[in-house]
Every structure is written in structure tokens, then in C-alpha cells.
Structure 1
Amino acid sequence: MRTFWRALPTEGRWLLSTVAIQTLGRGLTLPFTIIYLHEVRGFDLGLSGVLMSLIAVTGLIVTGPGGTLIDRFGARVVLLTGLVAMIVGCTMLAFATDPAVAAVALVLIGVNFGVSWPGFNALIASVVEGDLRQQYFGVNFALINLGIGVGGIVGGFYVDVHEPETFTTIFLIDAASSLIPMALLLGPLRHVRTHVESTEADPPAEGYRQILRRPAVLWVTLLTFIAMFIGYGQMEAGFPAYARQVAEVDTRVIGFAFAVNTAVIVLLQFTVLKLIRGHRRTRVMQVMALVWAISWLVLGAAGLLPDTVVAVIGVLAFMGIFAFGETMLQPTVPAVYNDLASDRSRGRYNAINAAAFQGGAITGPIAAGLLLDQGLGGWFIAVMVAGCAGIAVLALALERRITPSVNGVPVAAGEAAD
């Protein structure tokens, strides 16, 4: 870690040093928003679910235009706009007693989600490059999980559905936490540029259609979508539903499982970064796919012995093994996108990455709900394992279409891409 920190430019240190604090506010509210809407504000559960979906749907809608604006005006301007939307949205939600007000608030939060992923990734890529960039994405992911995990634990002890003001407080803290990256963008990072001014002699910047015609982009985007579909798309829906309905474990076990997930990521991310350094990113993705397949099989085994100690161990083990796989995903996929991109198209490349992420996060819960509602727990596990096999195949196809440098290995040590 000391070697990594010394290698970072000053701007990279500023970005990284505040990540956990920034995400602490999000961790306070993320697990409790639907509880707030349903149990505190009195909206029925179906309406609360629809309102929650507005965040992801809005994020997906604005990601594309956001990527174009990042390339045209720079990530800094777009991120500041998103942060203002986040502050206003969280503040409105803190006092929302009407569904329409809550809907507007959640749309504003979704706007920030839609531009923050491509914006911050473009900012990171403009500050660090090469192997250091891959390490940065991994460390950044660990710190995000640390902030969200600690926030979730603190929020769980603090909020009380019988005291609405406790929920008002956490949403206001979430709004205030957005002031930290805003201060960085207006202060130490105000000179960082993520776009290049074009001249008449320059060729036109790549558009989305041109980018998506690149085979490498198509393969990595499909891989990202499937990874999100069987991964993060199940964390808030498929996994808890399976654990409760099929494995029949207590809700406290599910809560503790998320704590295990966070702990494994924070404790192992640095070790994993050291182990994967210099290895082909596509091979790391294949190992990740194997690890995830094992995790889903473990969860499936927990469902065979419901309401037992074995089921509890299986649910906790699933989250630990799955988290180990996550430590391989986050350093590799964003690094591939940014190594494929040029400075004039970096916003669009990261927007495509974000759209694939959000698409998987939206469709994953739908598929899980359909399967588990019909009592098809075995088929649910089978679909997840099949998805892991798909990731391994896609990673192999991607390896043949990217250069060794994009794949994370020195050119002299790599093989020429097809």
C-alpha cells in the first residue's frame, strides 16, 4: 500500500483519500430507503418498489448523454451537476411525505448515479494510467465497500421506524457527504482535464455507434452485463429472497452476510491486486467466474437443508466467496474500458460500461423474482451458474480481440491479439 500511495500523483491521492468518507452517507441510506418509504412514510410496498426503481431507470437513461457531455465539457462539470442533483434529491427525500415528491427526489438521485460512474472513472483514468490504474480501481472499490459497509452498520443501529426524524437525519447526512467530492472538484482537482480540445485538423470523436462496432467493446460490454445480472443484480433481490424463502435463514443472518461481504473485500483486495498484477485481465475474469460459480453452488447447497445451521453457514459462506470474486472484477473490467478509450472518447466508453452495469442490475432482480416466485429455486441457481460459464467464455473471446497492453500485461510478455 505504501508503494502504491507513493506512486500516485497528488490528484490521485486527493481522490482516493476521501472515498470512504464520501460513501459513508450512501451506506447510511442504501439498505433503509425502501423501509423508509413503506414503514415511515406509509406508501404501500408495491409503490415503494416502483419508486426505488426510478433511481436505476433514471441512471440508465442519463448515462448515454452524460458520457457525451463528459467528452465535450469534461468530467468535472458533469460531476458537479450530478452532485447538486444528489444534494437536492436527498434533501427532498428526507422530508417527502407525498409519493410525487419522493419520485422527484429519487429521479434526482438517479441523475447523479447515471453520471457519477462514467464521470469518476474518466477522472481516475486521466490521473493514473497503466498498471497503477488497475490497482487504483481495485483500491477504490475496497474503500467504497468500506464506506458503505460502515454506513450500513451505523444506520442499522441508529434508525428507528417509530422515530421518523432518524431517517430524516441519515438522508441529510447523505446529502452533506456529497459536499466532499464537490469541494475536491472546485478545489484541488479544478485543473484536472478529462477531455481534449479538438481542432479542425483532428478527426471527429468516436460516437456510440462507432465505439460499439468495435468487437472488443461488444464482448466486454456483454461480459459486464452478465456479470451484473448474476452478481450485483442479485445482491438486493435474488440472494436475500433465496436465503429467506429457500434456505429459510433469519433476517439477521442475511444482514451479517452483507457484513461478511464487506469484510472480505476490504481485507483481501490488496492481496488480490498483488497476485493479479502482470497477469492477463481476461484470465483473472475467468478465475472470477469460477469463484462465483462455486459461491452460487454453495448457496444452492444451503437451500437443500433449510432452517438449519448448515443453511446459515452456507449463506454466510456464499457472501464470503462471492466477495472474493468481486475483488477480481473491479480492478479489471474498468481498466479494460479505459485502456481501449482515447482521451476524446473516455466519457462515452465509461458510459457504456455504466449502462451495462445498470442494465444487469435492473434485469437481474426481475429474473430472480420470476423464478423464485414460482418456487424454482433450483433453476435460479442453475441460471446463475450458467451465467458464470458465460463470463468465462466471453473472457476467452475478449482475450483474442484486445492487445496485450489493454489486457494488463507488458507488450514484450504478451501475445499479439487477433
Structure 2
Amino acid sequence: MRTVRGWFRDTAGGLPRSFWYLWTGTLINRLGSFVLIFLAIYLTRERGFSAAQAGLVIGLWGVGGAVGTTVGGILTDRWGRRPTLLTAHLGAATMMVALGLARPLWAVAVGALLLGTFAEAARPAFGAMMVDVVPEKDRLRAFSLNYWAINLGFACAAVLAGFAAEAGYLLLFLVDAATTVVTALIIFTRVRETLTRPAAPVAKGAAAPAGALRTILRDRVFLGFVALNLFAALVFLQHISMLPIAMVDSGLSPATYGSVIALNGVLIVIGQLFVPRLIRGRSRSHVLALAALIMGVGFGLTAFADTIWLYGLTVLIWTLGEMLNSPSNATLIAELSPAALRGRYQGVFSLSWQLAGASAPILGGLLREQAGNTALWLACAGIGAVTAVAHLVSGPARERRAVQLRAAGVPAAPVTLARTPAPEAAEAAATAPAEPARTGS
């Protein structure tokens, strides 16, 4: 019992109260994340669109997400984390209902575009706020706990959505919108603004928000890391677009897809809390390379799946890679970015996911229609292998950059933009170490 209590304390103890409010909002939001899980099946079975048309709609979701993360990153640094999150969540809830009521292809496409814009605009603000409130020494634990909450909600949502779809697809959109509103209310009532600015003017030549684009475009190490994440995301996001279509073509029902994909969340819920201890002290480049290779193998084996248990096995394999990839990604981004540009760096990194979200379903759909199902999944395996090698080659440069930023960081006296600082934010600021020039994920 003492060992269990010690493990729980090491895993979840000592984190700021603001983090737990954000964690709760994440869990509630993901419990209702029905729509994207079943969007491909909804578009092809309920609306009668082709696989290419469904890929186009999901791709427009990704295009909207690319716009959303870019704008959201700018607003996060200029307007603030809290108002950006609130606006994004309320806008996403509204567009969720609109998409559920849309009927013509053009209306569905526009709805997906706008929904992606609002939904993903929250990502940079949320990531920046997480880094704001959690001290550096606790971030690996915090990111792992938040990822655990995402997948706990996802596992439950995947199963529940499969049965809800049988009752009517509109219910999926309404529940998703409702949980998004609840998340917005939690942020509005419990989380204070965390954006800080230097007390003194920024010195000439320093990295200031006005030169954000030039700073990022010159940061080849960071952009190289973003590019590798883009390739990994192109493979990973096939589980949303082409995997459900492949399973339906194998004669499996939407509820079966929900149960199989829920294995992803269940495995992460069971094992993710042990991952930080497993990878602590190990080379992040080696961990990321192994993660890319495992994900490639898992998706590649989908080429030979035609039964429930085979599809389930492939999901379990690529989930292991996802579990290794997520915390390593999060902590590395936290060390590669200047603190003054935290939101923008979050936005650019998130942009890789949105670009993949826009292109993965379109490319996957075209490749599947032109070359066949087997070629699609074997191509995923090839991309995973190439990405793994690239991580091994580029890893030393990333670590050198992280060391340089850590050594050059000069903490500035913060001035909180919120009228009344939250007690938990003050607690985090008091216990946090000196903040070097970096950002988080």
C-alpha cells in the first residue's frame, strides 16, 4: 500500500491547482469527442459521399485547423490564453451543431472548415497555459497526465459513440457540442489568465513578438523537428480517415470500429502513467525514433488485417509508438522555443498536425483508390521507417539547441495581465525555477 501511495504521489502529487482544472476540462471535452471519430463513416454511410469526398471534407477540417492554430497562436501571445480558449471552445460548439444539421456537400465542407478553425485555435492557448502554470521539473508528469486524460475520454467516447450512432448521428454532434461548452465554462469560472510580459522593455535585437515570423523561419532546428512531426502525423491520422473505411469494407459495423479504436485509449489509460519513468534519462531522439518505427509497423500490418482481432492487434502496436512519442514531443518542444513566443511556437508546431489533418485523408483516399488498400498501409510503414532514421540523424542538433537556450535564458520579472492573479498561478510562479527562453507543447 505504501508503494502504491508513493507511486501515486510521484505521478500526480504537487501539481498546481490550475493544471487540474485544465486536466478536468480536457477529460470532459474528450468524453464527448464523438464527431471526428465517426466522421468518415458518417459521411460515407449516412450522407452517401464517396471515400474521396469524405477525405476532402476531413481534409478541409485540417485546412481550417491550420488557420486556427496560426491565428490561435498569435492571439494567445497578444490577446491572452484565457479569452482565446473561451472563444475557440464556444465557436467550436456552435459549428459542431451546424455541421450536424448541414446536408449538401458544400454546406458540410464549409461546416468542417469552420469547425476545424475554431476547434484547433484552442490548441496553442491550452499548450501555452499548461507550460505557464507547471514548473519545468514537473512538465513531463503533467503532459503525461493530460495525455492520459485525453485517452481516457477518447476510449469512453469511442465505445459510446458507436452505440449513439445507431440511435442517430445527430446525437453525436449535440453531445460533442455540449461537452465543449462545459469545458469553456470550467475555463471561464476556474482558470485565470496566465499570460505574462517582461516588466522592462525588450532589449533591441532580442526575440520579441514583432519579429516572431523571422525568428521561427530562421530556426532550422525547430522547423526540422516540426517537419518530422508532420510525417509522423500523416501516418497516425490514417486511423481517423482511412482505417474506419477499411474496416467497413471488411464487413465490420461502426460499433465494431468504435470498440476496436477504443483499444487505443484503453492501452494508454492503463500504461501511459508508467511511460515517464520508463523513458526518463534516455535519449529523446532514440525514443522518438523507436516510436516512429513502432507506429509504422503497426499501421503497415493493417494491410493484412481483415478480422476484428487483427485490426485490434494493429491498433495495439501503433498505440505503443504513440505512447512513447507524446511525452517526448511535449518536453522537447518546451525546450526549443523562446518564452516570449510561446504561443506562436505552439501554433507552428500544431500547424504540422493541421497540415497532416488536411492532407492525410486526401492523400490516403487517393492512394487507396488508385493503388489499393495494401499500398496505402505499406506506404505508412515506409514513412515510419524514414522518420525514425531522420530522428536519429537530427537528434544531436536538437539537444545542443536545447542546452544553448537553457544556458542563455534570462528570467524576466513577470507582470500578470489578469486583474487579480489566481492563487494557484501565484503558487506555480513561486515554486517554478528560473524560466529560460523556451516554450512548451
Q: Settle same-fold status: TM greater than 0.5.
A: yes
Counterpart check, 1:210 vs 2:219: no
Within a 5 Å distance, the mapping from 1:167-178 to structure 2 comes to 167-178=169-180
What is the Cα deviation at residue 122 of structure 1?
A: 0.9
**Match among 20, 26, 33 for residue 19 of structure 1:** 26
1:269 matched to 2:272: yes
Cα distance change, pair 195–79 in 1 and its aligned pair in 2 (3 A)? farther
Q: Look up the SS of the partner of 2:333 in the other structure.
A: helix
Given that 2:40 and 2:54 are in contact with CA atoms closer than 8 Å, whether structure 1 keeps it comes out as: yes
Shift in Å, 1:213: 1.8
Measure how far apart 1:290 and its partner are. Answer: 2.8
State the AA in 2 paired with 1:354.
S
Query: 1:89, 1:104 within 8 Å by CA — same for their partners in 2?
Result: no
Which residue does 1:181 correspond to in 2? 183
Structure 1 pair 129–156 and aligned structure 2 pair: CA distance change class (3 A): same
What CA RMSD, in Å, does the superposition of the two structures yield over aligned residues?
2.9
Cα distance in 2 for residues equivalent to 1:313 and 1:70: 44
Are residue 231 (structure 1) and residue 236 (structure 2) matched? yes
* Alignment-derived partner of residue 132 in structure 2: 126
Q: Report the Cα distance in structure 2 between the residues aligned to 1:200 and 1:218, rounded to whole angstroms.
A: 25
Whether 2:86 is the aligned partner of 1:84: answer no
Match of 2:10 in 1: 3
1:199 maps to which residue? 201
SS of 1:7's partner is: coil
Q: Distance in 1 between matches of 2:9 and 2:128?
A: 24
Report what 1:250 is aligned to: 252
Structure 1 residues 94, 317: CA separation in 2 closer, same or farther (over 3 Å shift)? closer
Q: AA paired with 1:80?
A: L
Residue of 330, 335, 340 corresponding to 2:336:
340
TM-score of the two chains, using structure 1 as the length reference:
0.83
Structure 1 residue 350, shift from structure 2 partner:
0.9
Residue 213 and residue 405 in structure 1: after superposition, are their counterparts in 2 closer, same or farther (change >3 A)? closer
Q: Name segments (4+ residues, structure 1) moved above 6 Å.
A: none
Residues 193/49 of structure 1: CA separation in 2 closer, same or farther (3 Å cut): same
Gaps of 5+ in 2: 1-7, 408-441
Indicate yes or no: 2:149 matched with 1:158: no
How big is the shift at 1:169?
3.8
2:224 corresponds to which residue? 219
Shift of 1:197: 6.8
Shift of residue 43 of structure 1?
6.4
Tell me by how many angstroms 1:157 deviates: 1.6
> Aligned-pair distance for 1:58?
1.0
Aligned partner letter, 1:88: T
Q: Which moved more, 1:353-362 or 1:206-215?
A: 206-215
1:67 aligns with 2:67: no
Alignment of 1:95-106 (within 5 A): 95-97=101-103, 102-106=108-112
The letter of the residue matching 1:221 is V
Aligned partners of 1:295 and 1:36: how far apart in 2? 25
Q: Is the 8 A contact 2:260 2:308 kept in 1?
A: no
2-structure distance, mates of 1:277, 1:20: 25
Partner of 1:356: 352
CA distance in 2, matches of 1:394, 1:195: 36
Q: Structure 2 vs 1, CA of residues 152 and 179 (structure 1 numbering), >3 Å: closer, same or farther? A: same
Larger RCO (alpha carbons 8 Å, 6+ apart): 2
Asked if the contact 1:67–1:347 (Cα under 8 Å) also holds between the matched residues in 2, the reply is: yes
CA apart distance, 1:36 = 4.9
Aligned in 2, Cα 1:176/1:299: closer, same or farther, shift over 3 Å?
Answer: closer
Deviation at 1:78, TM superposition (A): 1.5
**Separation (CA, whole Å) in 1 of partners of 2:62 and 2:240:** 13
The 3 A distance-change label for structure 1 pair 141 and 347 is: same
Where does residue 415 of structure 1 map in the other structure? none
Identify unmatched segments of 5+ residues in structure 1.
412-418
8 Å contact kept, 1:72–1:195: no
Q: Provide the aligned length of Structure 1 versus Structure 2.
A: 393
The answer on whether the counterparts of 1:70 and 1:347 sit within 8 Å (CA) in structure 2 is yes
| Inter-partner Cα distance in structure 2 for 1:368 and 1:51 | 13
Partners of 1:284 and 1:49 lie apart in 2 by 32
